[in-house]
Protein backbone atom coordinates (compact mmCIF):
# COMPACT_ATOMS: atom_id res chain seq x y z
CA UNK A 1 0.00 0.00 0.00
CA UNK A 2 1.15 3.50 -0.71
CA UNK A 3 1.27 5.99 2.15
CA UNK A 4 -1.54 8.55 1.93
CA UNK A 5 -0.73 12.10 2.90
CA UNK A 6 -0.93 15.78 2.11
CA UNK A 7 1.09 18.96 2.07
CA UNK A 8 0.56 20.36 5.57
CA UNK A 9 0.91 23.91 6.86
CA UNK A 10 3.64 24.61 9.43
CA UNK A 11 1.88 27.70 10.71
CA UNK A 12 2.49 28.09 14.45
CA UNK A 13 5.65 25.94 14.36
CA UNK A 14 7.03 22.94 12.50
CA UNK A 15 5.73 20.45 15.08
CA UNK A 16 2.20 21.79 14.58
CA UNK A 17 2.23 20.31 11.07
CA UNK A 18 2.57 16.83 12.55
CA UNK A 19 -0.40 17.42 14.84
CA UNK A 20 -2.47 18.53 11.83
CA UNK A 21 -1.40 15.54 9.75
CA UNK A 22 -2.25 13.14 12.59
CA UNK A 23 -5.68 14.72 12.94
CA UNK A 24 -6.26 14.09 9.22
CA UNK A 25 -5.15 10.46 9.54
CA UNK A 26 -2.16 10.95 7.25
CA UNK A 27 0.39 8.16 6.87
CA UNK A 28 2.83 10.53 5.16
CA UNK A 29 3.18 14.29 4.86
CA UNK A 30 5.02 17.07 3.10
CA UNK A 31 6.02 20.40 4.62
CA UNK A 32 8.03 23.52 3.87
CA UNK A 33 10.77 23.74 6.51
CA UNK A 34 10.91 27.49 5.78
CA UNK A 35 9.08 30.16 3.78
CA UNK A 36 9.29 28.84 0.20
CA UNK A 37 9.15 32.34 -1.30
CA UNK A 38 12.18 33.78 0.49
CA UNK A 39 15.88 33.12 0.03
CA UNK A 40 16.98 33.40 3.60
CA UNK A 41 15.56 31.13 6.25
CA UNK A 42 16.81 31.33 9.80
CA UNK A 43 18.48 28.25 11.14
CA UNK A 44 16.45 25.95 13.30
CA UNK A 45 16.69 26.23 17.08
CA UNK A 46 17.35 23.23 19.30
CA UNK A 47 13.82 23.69 20.65
CA UNK A 48 12.22 23.54 17.19
CA UNK A 49 14.23 20.47 16.25
CA UNK A 50 13.42 18.55 19.42
CA UNK A 51 9.71 19.52 19.38
CA UNK A 52 9.45 18.29 15.78
CA UNK A 53 11.36 15.06 16.39
CA UNK A 54 9.34 14.30 19.52
CA UNK A 55 6.02 14.89 17.72
CA UNK A 56 7.21 12.81 14.76
CA UNK A 57 8.28 9.91 16.94
CA UNK A 58 4.96 9.67 18.76
CA UNK A 59 2.86 10.28 15.61
CA UNK A 60 3.21 6.95 13.83
CA UNK A 61 3.86 8.94 10.63
CA UNK A 62 5.63 6.65 8.17
CA UNK A 63 7.26 9.27 5.97
CA UNK A 64 7.88 13.02 5.91
CA UNK A 65 9.23 14.84 2.87
CA UNK A 66 10.16 18.48 2.51
CA UNK A 67 9.42 20.66 -0.52
CA UNK A 68 12.35 22.94 -1.34
CA UNK A 69 11.96 26.69 -1.88
CA UNK A 70 10.30 27.79 -5.12
CA UNK A 71 13.09 30.33 -5.67
CA UNK A 72 15.76 27.68 -6.17
CA UNK A 73 16.86 27.39 -9.80
CA UNK A 74 19.87 25.12 -10.17
CA UNK A 75 19.88 25.73 -13.92
CA UNK A 76 19.78 29.54 -13.71
CA UNK A 77 22.50 32.11 -14.36
CA UNK A 78 25.69 32.03 -12.27
CA UNK A 79 24.35 34.35 -9.57
CA UNK A 80 21.06 32.49 -9.10
CA UNK A 81 22.82 29.14 -9.23
CA UNK A 82 25.18 30.14 -6.42
CA UNK A 83 22.28 31.18 -4.19
CA UNK A 84 20.32 28.09 -5.19
CA UNK A 85 23.13 25.65 -4.42
CA UNK A 86 23.55 27.22 -0.98
CA UNK A 87 19.79 27.20 -0.36
CA UNK A 88 19.42 23.53 -1.25
CA UNK A 89 22.42 22.55 0.87
CA UNK A 90 20.81 24.41 3.79
CA UNK A 91 17.50 22.62 3.10
CA UNK A 92 19.24 19.25 3.16
CA UNK A 93 20.83 20.27 6.47
CA UNK A 94 17.42 21.12 7.95
CA UNK A 95 15.97 17.81 6.72
CA UNK A 96 18.82 15.97 8.38
CA UNK A 97 18.29 17.82 11.66
CA UNK A 98 14.54 17.17 11.62
CA UNK A 99 14.70 13.52 10.55
CA UNK A 100 12.92 14.22 7.24
CA UNK A 101 13.26 11.43 4.67
CA UNK A 102 13.81 13.36 1.43
CA UNK A 103 13.60 16.77 -0.20
CA UNK A 104 11.46 17.37 -3.30
CA UNK A 105 12.95 19.84 -5.77
CA UNK A 106 11.74 21.66 -8.88
CA UNK A 107 14.63 20.88 -11.26
CA UNK A 108 14.85 24.47 -12.53
CA UNK A 109 14.17 26.66 -15.51
CA UNK A 110 16.25 27.08 -18.62
CA UNK A 111 15.05 30.68 -19.04
CA UNK A 112 16.66 32.01 -22.22
CA UNK A 113 19.41 29.40 -22.23
CA UNK A 114 19.23 26.43 -24.61
CA UNK A 115 17.70 23.42 -22.79
CA UNK A 116 20.86 21.29 -23.14
CA UNK A 117 23.12 23.84 -21.47
CA UNK A 118 20.51 24.33 -18.74
CA UNK A 119 20.46 20.57 -18.15
CA UNK A 120 24.24 20.61 -17.85
CA UNK A 121 24.08 23.48 -15.37
CA UNK A 122 21.48 21.59 -13.33
CA UNK A 123 23.65 18.45 -13.26
CA UNK A 124 26.74 20.45 -12.22
CA UNK A 125 24.80 22.19 -9.42
CA UNK A 126 23.46 18.86 -8.16
CA UNK A 127 26.96 17.38 -8.20
CA UNK A 128 28.20 20.18 -5.96
CA UNK A 129 25.21 19.79 -3.62
CA UNK A 130 25.47 16.00 -3.33
CA UNK A 131 29.23 16.16 -2.75
CA UNK A 132 28.83 18.93 -0.17
CA UNK A 133 26.20 17.06 1.86
CA UNK A 134 27.45 13.51 1.46
CA UNK A 135 27.51 12.71 5.18
CA UNK A 136 23.88 13.87 5.62
CA UNK A 137 22.54 11.31 3.16
CA UNK A 138 19.14 12.98 2.52
CA UNK A 139 17.84 12.02 -0.97
CA UNK A 140 16.93 14.74 -3.48
CA UNK A 141 13.81 13.98 -5.52
CA UNK A 142 13.50 15.73 -8.89
CA UNK A 143 9.87 16.64 -9.48
CA UNK A 144 8.21 16.23 -12.88
CA UNK A 145 7.01 19.63 -14.12
CA UNK A 146 4.26 20.82 -16.47
CA UNK A 147 6.86 22.50 -18.68
CA UNK A 148 5.60 26.08 -18.56
CA UNK A 149 8.19 28.85 -18.94
CA UNK A 150 11.08 26.61 -19.93
CA UNK A 151 10.83 24.51 -16.79
CA UNK A 152 13.11 21.49 -16.88
CA UNK A 153 11.73 18.09 -15.93
CA UNK A 154 8.60 18.01 -18.08
CA UNK A 155 9.55 14.57 -19.38
CA UNK A 156 10.69 11.46 -17.52
CA UNK A 157 13.39 11.21 -20.15
CA UNK A 158 14.87 14.57 -19.17
CA UNK A 159 15.01 13.60 -15.49
CA UNK A 160 16.72 10.36 -16.52
CA UNK A 161 19.28 12.39 -18.51
CA UNK A 162 20.13 14.40 -15.38
CA UNK A 163 20.36 11.33 -13.15
CA UNK A 164 22.53 9.63 -15.75
CA UNK A 165 24.80 12.69 -15.92
CA UNK A 166 25.32 12.17 -12.17
CA UNK A 167 26.23 8.49 -12.65
CA UNK A 168 22.98 7.28 -11.08
CA UNK A 169 23.93 8.67 -7.69
CA UNK A 170 21.97 6.72 -5.07
CA UNK A 171 20.68 9.93 -3.45
CA UNK A 172 18.81 11.05 -6.57
CA UNK A 173 15.18 10.11 -6.99
CA UNK A 174 12.02 11.29 -8.69
CA UNK A 175 8.80 12.83 -7.40
CA UNK A 176 6.17 12.03 -10.02
CA UNK A 177 3.48 14.74 -10.08
CA UNK A 178 0.38 13.50 -11.91
CA UNK A 179 -1.06 17.02 -12.33
CA UNK A 180 2.18 18.25 -13.90
CA UNK A 181 2.68 15.19 -16.11
CA UNK A 182 -0.84 15.69 -17.49
CA UNK A 183 -0.12 19.39 -18.09
CA UNK A 184 3.06 18.37 -19.92
CA UNK A 185 1.00 16.26 -22.30
CA UNK A 186 1.21 12.77 -20.84
CA UNK A 187 -2.11 10.95 -20.89
CA UNK A 188 -2.54 9.82 -17.33
CA UNK A 189 -6.32 9.95 -17.29
CA UNK A 190 -6.93 6.35 -18.40
CA UNK A 191 -5.86 2.92 -17.13
CA UNK A 192 -3.69 2.45 -20.19
CA UNK A 193 -2.17 5.90 -19.79
CA UNK A 194 -1.30 5.25 -16.14
CA UNK A 195 0.30 1.91 -17.03
CA UNK A 196 2.32 3.52 -19.84
CA UNK A 197 3.56 6.18 -17.41
CA UNK A 198 4.62 3.57 -14.86
CA UNK A 199 6.44 1.53 -17.49
CA UNK A 200 8.15 4.67 -18.74
CA UNK A 201 9.29 5.45 -15.17
CA UNK A 202 10.43 1.86 -14.79
CA UNK A 203 12.39 1.92 -18.05
CA UNK A 204 13.98 5.35 -17.69
CA UNK A 205 14.73 5.68 -13.98
CA UNK A 206 13.62 2.46 -12.26
CA UNK A 207 10.64 2.35 -9.90
CA UNK A 208 12.75 2.28 -6.74
CA UNK A 209 13.82 5.83 -7.58
CA UNK A 210 10.19 7.01 -7.64
CA UNK A 211 10.23 7.87 -3.97
CA UNK A 212 7.25 10.24 -3.87
CA UNK A 213 4.07 11.08 -5.81
CA UNK A 214 2.23 14.38 -5.89
CA UNK A 215 -1.43 14.20 -6.72
CA UNK A 216 -4.07 16.71 -7.68
CA UNK A 217 -6.32 17.08 -10.68
CA UNK A 218 -5.45 19.75 -13.27
CA UNK A 219 -7.82 22.61 -14.16
CA UNK A 220 -6.27 22.73 -17.63
CA UNK A 221 -6.38 20.20 -20.44
CA UNK A 222 -3.75 17.64 -21.33
CA UNK A 223 -0.68 19.28 -22.84
CA UNK A 224 -1.78 22.82 -21.94
CA UNK A 225 1.42 23.24 -19.89
CA UNK A 226 -0.81 24.61 -17.20
CA UNK A 227 -0.08 24.00 -13.52
CA UNK A 228 -3.39 24.74 -11.82
CA UNK A 229 -4.27 22.25 -9.12
CA UNK A 230 -7.86 21.02 -8.68
CA UNK A 231 -9.59 18.63 -6.30
CA UNK A 232 -9.38 14.95 -7.29
CA UNK A 233 -11.84 14.24 -10.07
CA UNK A 234 -12.60 17.93 -10.70
CA UNK A 235 -10.24 18.56 -13.61
CA UNK A 236 -9.06 17.08 -16.87
CA UNK A 237 -7.54 13.97 -15.26
CA UNK A 238 -10.60 12.52 -13.56
CA UNK A 239 -10.32 9.87 -10.87
CA UNK A 240 -8.88 6.80 -12.62
CA UNK A 241 -5.10 7.15 -12.07
CA UNK A 242 -5.46 8.24 -8.44
CA UNK A 243 -7.39 5.07 -7.61
CA UNK A 244 -4.86 2.95 -9.49
CA UNK A 245 -1.89 4.61 -7.80
CA UNK A 246 -3.06 4.25 -4.21
CA UNK A 247 -3.77 0.55 -4.73
CA UNK A 248 -0.60 -0.12 -6.75
CA UNK A 249 1.61 -2.67 -4.97
CA UNK A 250 4.62 -1.41 -6.94
CA UNK A 251 4.49 1.74 -4.82
CA UNK A 252 4.25 0.03 -1.47
CA UNK A 253 5.36 2.42 1.29
CA UNK A 254 5.79 5.30 -1.17
CA UNK A 255 4.33 8.63 -0.03
CA UNK A 256 1.42 9.85 -2.15
CA UNK A 257 1.01 13.52 -1.26
CA UNK A 258 -2.13 15.54 -1.97
CA UNK A 259 -1.47 19.00 -3.35
CA UNK A 260 -5.14 19.78 -3.88
CA UNK A 261 -6.66 23.16 -2.93
CA UNK A 262 -7.49 23.63 0.74
CA UNK A 263 -11.02 24.90 0.07
CA UNK A 264 -14.19 22.84 -0.54
CA UNK A 265 -13.65 19.17 0.39
CA UNK A 266 -10.13 20.07 1.57
CA UNK A 267 -7.54 17.50 2.55
CA UNK A 268 -10.04 15.58 4.68
CA UNK A 269 -12.41 15.10 1.73
CA UNK A 270 -9.69 14.13 -0.74
CA UNK A 271 -8.11 11.72 1.76
CA UNK A 272 -11.49 10.10 2.41
CA UNK A 273 -11.89 9.62 -1.33
CA UNK A 274 -8.42 8.05 -1.61
CA UNK A 275 -9.12 5.68 1.28
CA UNK A 276 -12.32 4.62 -0.40
CA UNK A 277 -10.49 4.07 -3.67
CA UNK A 278 -7.81 2.08 -1.88
CA UNK A 279 -10.48 0.03 -0.19
CA UNK A 280 -8.77 0.29 3.15
CA UNK A 281 -11.73 1.64 5.07
ZN1 LIG B 1 6.41 21.03 -6.42
ZN1 LIG C 1 1.90 22.13 -9.40
Query: What percentage of residues in the chain have a pLDDT greater than 90?
Result: 92
**For residue 280, what pLDDT is reported?**
57
**For residue 281, what pLDDT is reported?**
43
CA-based nearest residue to 62, from 4, 114, 20, 108: 4
Q: Range with the lowest mean pLDDT among 31-45, 208-222, 241-255?
A: 31-45
Indicate whether 39 pLDDT > 60. yes
Kindly give the distance from the C-alpha atom of residue 214 to the centroid of ligand 1, in angstroms, as a whole number: 8
- Domain extent for 211: 3-278
Looking at the structure of the chain, the number of domains it has is: 1
Helix and strand totals (H; E) in the chain: 9, 10
Q: Which ligand is nearest to the CA of 153?
A: 1
Kindly give the distance from the C-alpha atom of residue 37 to the centroid of ligand 1, in angstroms, as a whole number: 13
**For residue 149, what pLDDT is reported?**
83
Kindly give the distance from the C-alpha atom of residue 77 to the centroid of ligand 2, in angstroms, as a whole number: 23
Q: Express each pLDDT in 121-137 by its tens digit.
A: 999 999 999 999 999 99
Kindly give the distance from the C-alpha atom of residue 105 to the centroid of ligand 1, in angstroms, as a whole number: 7
Q: Which ligand is nearest to the CA of 7?
A: 1
Indicate whether 41 pLDDT > 90. no
**For residue 92, what pLDDT is reported?**
98
Kindly give the distance from the C-alpha atom of residue 2 to the centroid of ligand 2, in angstroms, as a whole number: 21
Kindly give the distance from the C-alpha atom of residue 217 to the centroid of ligand 2, in angstroms, as a whole number: 10
Q: Express each pLDDT in 233-281 by its tens digit.
A: 999 999 999 999 999 999 999 999 999 999 999 999 999 999 999 985 4
pTM of the model: 0.97
Query: What percentage of residues in the chain have a pLDDT greater than 70?
Result: 99
Kindly give the distance from the C-alpha atom of residue 58 to the centroid of ligand 2, in angstroms, as a whole number: 31
pLDDT confidence of 53, banded at 50, 70, 90?
very high
Indicate whether 3 pLDDT > 90. yes
Q: How far is CA 277 from CA 155, 242, 280, in A?
A: 28, 8, 8
214 with 259: CB under 8 angstroms?
yes
Q: Express each pLDDT in 200-210 by its tens digit.
A: 999 999 999 99
Kindly give the distance from the C-alpha atom of residue 67 to the centroid of ligand 1, in angstroms, as a whole number: 7
d(CA 111, CA 105): 17
Q: How far is CA 23 from CA 16, 18, 267, in A?
A: 11, 9, 11
Kindly give the distance from the C-alpha atom of residue 141 to the centroid of ligand 1, in angstroms, as a whole number: 10
**Pairing outcome for strands 140-143 and 172-177:** parallel
Kindly give the distance from the C-alpha atom of residue 180 to the centroid of ligand 1, in angstroms, as a whole number: 9
Query: What's the mean pLDDT in 169-177?
Result: 98
Q: Which DSSP symbol is given to 235?
A: S
Q: Which ligand is nearest to the CA of 217?
A: 2
Whole-number average pLDDT of the chain? 96
Which residues keep their CB under 5 angstroms from ion ligand 2?
Answer: 227
**Pairing outcome for strands 229-230 and 3-7:** unpaired
**For residue 115, what pLDDT is reported?**
80
Q: Which ligand is nearest to the CA of 213?
A: 1
Kindly give the distance from the C-alpha atom of residue 179 to the centroid of ligand 2, in angstroms, as a whole number: 7
Q: Which ligand is nearest to the CA of 70?
A: 1
Q: Say what the alpha-carbon torsion angle 81, 83, 89, 92 is, to the nearest 10 degrees.
A: -100
- What CATH number is given to the structural domain containing 175? 3.20.20.150
Q: Which ligand is nearest to the CA of 219?
A: 2
pLDDT confidence of 1, banded at 50, 70, 90?
confident
Amino acid sequence: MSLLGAHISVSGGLHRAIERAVALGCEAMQIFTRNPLQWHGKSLSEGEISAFRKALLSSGMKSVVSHASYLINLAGDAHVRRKSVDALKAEIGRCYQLGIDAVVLHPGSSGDAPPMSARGALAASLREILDGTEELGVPVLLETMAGQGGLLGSTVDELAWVIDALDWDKRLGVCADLCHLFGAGIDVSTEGGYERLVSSLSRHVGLDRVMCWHISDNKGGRGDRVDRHAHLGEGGIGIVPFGMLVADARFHDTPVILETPKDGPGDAGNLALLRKLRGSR
